Structure 1
Amino acid sequence: MMDFLPIARHALSMALFWGIPIVAAVGLIAYFGFARLIASKLLGRRVLRCTEEERPADRGFEQTAFEIQVPPFDAADGDTETPKCRLDGWLIRPPDAGPDDRPPCVLMVHGFSSHKNCLWTFPDDPDYRASLLHQGADSLCRAGFAVAAIDLRNHGQSDENGPVTLGIRESYDVLATLRYLKANADRFGIDGSHLGLRGESMGGVTSLIAASRDDSGLIAAVWCDSTFADGHRVVGDFLNYANVWRGFAPATRLWLKTLTGLDVNDASPVRYVEKIRCPVMLVHSTGDTMVPIEHFDQLASAAWVNPPESWRLAGHRHNRLWKEPDYHQRQIEFFRQHLGA
């Protein structure tokens, strides 16, 4: 028995010596591997989560389809050889607009994992169904505005091109669309000098970043619904909403940067507010569990050169603020004030 004890002690010490590092290594591999899976989900090259759709024509609107050819993200300046990236869109005019009328136009910018015709639902609200028409495309059009919508690249019917970047690169799709609408205003029967943006969630981020990059005064006003303020912070909020341990956030951010070459902090509208000149309306709800109300507070109190209007609601979950009784009327009045109608 006495001879066995030294052997047992030696075996135990060797197990601890090698076992702890092995367990730690396996744990780190699992941690970073799962974080990479999360990042890949966020950056999915083809986002077509919606299985149900609603088009303007389904509600009786006369719908005009259009396509835009834009440079791919990885094209060098002056590159004419790389195939262009196609963006798919539609435009509707007010039902009572005559052929000579030129109404102002609002471009609807969808959020992550959505598209222009998506009839959206949420895991925490499986009976909910809503499209951009519910969010305001219908009410704005009937109030005298032309309304356009596109699929951002990697969404809907638009081409795949690199990863989703949470609004950073997608902002160039928005600017390209506005330039296209202005250049083809007579064809569409719109006033190309009065263009506004209406974005929800990531679409709001995309719209604000686009407004900060608008050097030619294309954008007359921006309405932002349920928009996050801080790209770094929202990664943890997304995990929390999905019931995933928030501790995966640091590794997820690292993978996001590795896979895109971009810093997730650059998907933070608070970094761009000093360059935004046009009027902005921020709308958010205390009931939002995906993008908590703290994002609204941070964005509303940022160092804007032109302070935004803000509307803080209660009880509505993410992207469901349009259910507020006077939501549509206030949205219409905001765009009437800054675009006319």
Structure 2
Amino acid sequence: MSPAPLRRWLLRRFAVAREAHTATPADHGLVAVEVGLPARDGRRLHGWFVPVAGSAPAPAVLVMHGWGANASLMLPLARPLHEAGHAVLLIDARGHGASEDIDFMSLPRFAEDVAAGLDWLGGRHDVDHARLSLIGHSVGAAAVLLEASRRPHLNAVIALSAFAHPRDMMRRHLSAMGLPWHPLGALVTLYVQHLIGARFDDIAPVSTLPRVRCPVLLAHGLHDDTVPLAEARRLAASRVGTLLVEVDAGHDLSPALQQTRSRFTAFLESPR
């Protein structure tokens, strides 16, 4: 298959199915401001910002969803974070939720949107810039680890349902499509790296996590059939001091939030 048809095929197969928001912060008892943030390419990112009342700058947490999801699906995290004294910024990645469309998304582009959110928080006077934390789910988890590996002064990172290496994810996805790994799957994977402008080995969480300087907590479902639990254990083993919380859930950790919410907030508030 020549490059042009292969590119069209890949864009069709990996196109993001945009999902509308299923809830708002008000549905979770939160008073939020709807914001528009500039992405690195000038497109508009939609977000909800939940500030903390008071005159002192507050710690803040940026929350990033996963592939094909949106900020509304991460709202169950927002209230416990806010009740613990954190301002919360939830954003829709490009091509997701209410953010502007884009030709294709990728892990590096998710990380760019995380960076845009951090830059936006860094410009606010009501946010303590020395206490910025990140939470991401799935591809969003890989994205917050990638961006955190580039920023030495973050407070903490929580990665939910993170995969260890995108090549393994690609292999599982292509296998489910009935595409043999040798030679087609391997060739497709090489072309995807060319298309996104990054080597999988460089952006893989198992590569970026060891470069993160702040504390990191991984949370993973015992019954995750999208990203096997073994990948979370591999990730945790890649960096001394990384915490791993295994919960009774699948890829979506929302059903286990009551079990983990106090663990998450205590981790973010631990003395550094």
- TM value normalised by structure 2: 0.86
Mapped partners of 1:253, 1:71: distance in 2:
25
State the SS of the aligned residue for 2:220: strand
How far off its partner does 1:324 sit? 5.4
Relative to 1, partners in 2 of residues 1:328 and 1:256: Cα closer, same or farther, differing over 3 Å?
Answer: same
Q: Is the 8 A contact 2:233 2:244 kept in 1?
A: no
SS in 1 for 2:130: coil
* Equivalent residue number for residue 132 of structure 1: 74
Alignment match, 1:158? 99
* Equivalent residue, structure 2, for 1:275: 211
Taking a change above 3 Å as real, the CA distance of residues 321 and 229 of structure 1, as seen in their structure-2 partners, is farther
1:177 aligns with 2:117: yes
1:56 alignment partner, one of 21, 25, 29: 25
CA positional deviation for 1:321: 5.5
In the alignment, the residues of structure 1 paired with residue 212 and residue 80 of structure 2 have an alpha-carbon distance, to the nearest angstrom, of: 27
Task: Output the CA distance in 2 between the equivalents of 1:197 and 1:310.
Answer: 16
Larger Rg: 1
In the alignment, what sits opposite 1:311? 245
CA distance in 2, matches of 1:183, 1:88: 17
Taking a change above 3 Å as real, the CA distance of residues 35 and 307 of structure 1, as seen in their structure-2 partners, is farther
Equivalence for 1:105:
60
Mapped partners of 2:258, 2:98: distance in 1? 33
Which residue of 11, 17, 36 corresponds with 1:67? 36
Query: For residues 328 and 230 of structure 1, do their structure 2 counterparts lie closer, same or farther at Cα, with a shift above 3 Å needed?
Result: same
Matched, 1:114 2:69: yes
**Offset of residue 293 of structure 1:** 1.2
1:12 — aligned with what?
Answer: none
Aligned AA for 1:312?
A: E
Taking a change above 3 Å as real, the CA distance of residues 198 and 325 of structure 1, as seen in their structure-2 partners, is same
Kindly indicate whether residue 45 of structure 2 is the aligned counterpart of residue 87 of structure 1: yes
* SS, match of residue 104 in structure 1: strand
Aligned equivalents of 1:239, 1:316: Cα separation in 2: 25
Question: What pairs up with 1:3-82 in 2 under 5 angstroms?
Answer: 37=9, 40-42=12-14, 44=15, 47-72=16-41
Going from structure 1 to structure 2, the CA distance change for 1:35 and 1:322 (only over 3 Å counts) comes to farther
Pick one of 122, 141, 146 that aligns with 1:209.
146
- 1:147 is paired with a residue whose SS is strand
Query: Displacement, 1:179?
Result: 1.9
Letter in 2 for 1:173: D
User: Size of the alignment, in residue pairs?
Assistant: 266
Q: Read off the aligned partner of 1:308 and give its amino acid letter.
A: T
Q: Which residue of 2 aligns with 1:226?
A: 161
Structure-2 separation of matches of 1:276 and 1:40: 34
SS at 1:271 equivalent: helix
SS in 2 for 1:172: helix
1:247 to 175, 180, 199: 180
Q: Report if aligned partners of 1:228, 1:234 keep a CA contact under 8 Å in 2.
A: yes
Deviation at 1:58, TM superposition (A): 2.4
Q: CA deviation at 1:329?
A: 0.9
SS in structure 2 of the partner of residue 192 of structure 1: strand
Give the structure-1-normalised TM-score.
0.70
Q: Which residue of 1 aligns with 2:259?
A: 326
Q: Which runs of 5+ in 2 are unaligned?
A: none
Identity fraction in percent = 27
Instruction: Say whether residues 1:192 and 2:129 are aligned partners.
Output: yes
Q: Residues 204-227 of structure 1: CA distance to partner in whole angstroms, max 9, x if unpaired? A: 100000001115x2x210001100
Q: Distance in 1 between matches of 2:219 and 2:179?
A: 26
User: Equivalents in 2 of 1:112, 1:265: separation in Å?
Assistant: 20
Aligned match of 1:148 = 89
Q: CA deviation at 1:246?
A: 6.0
Q: Aligned with 1:132: secondary structure? A: helix
* 8 Å contact from structure 1 (residues 224, 282) kept in 2: yes
TM superposition shift of 1:105: 0.8
Structure 1 residue 301 and structure 2 residue 237: aligned? yes
Partner of 1:6: none
Q: Structure 2 CA distance, aligned partners of 1:152 and 1:112?
A: 9
Q: Where do 5+ consecutive residues of structure 1 fail to align?
A: 1-28, 73-83, 118-130
- For 1:223, the aligned partner's letter is I
> What amino acid is aligned across from residue 307 of structure 1 in structure 2?
G
Note if contact 1:39-1:256 (Cα within 8 Å) is conserved in structure 2: no
Kindly tell me: are residues 169 and 61 of structure 1, through their superposed partners in 2, closer, same or farther at Cα, counting changes over 3 Å? same
Following the alignment from structure 1 to structure 2, what is the Cα–Cα distance between the partners of residues 286 and 246? 28
Q: CA deviation at 1:68?
A: 2.1
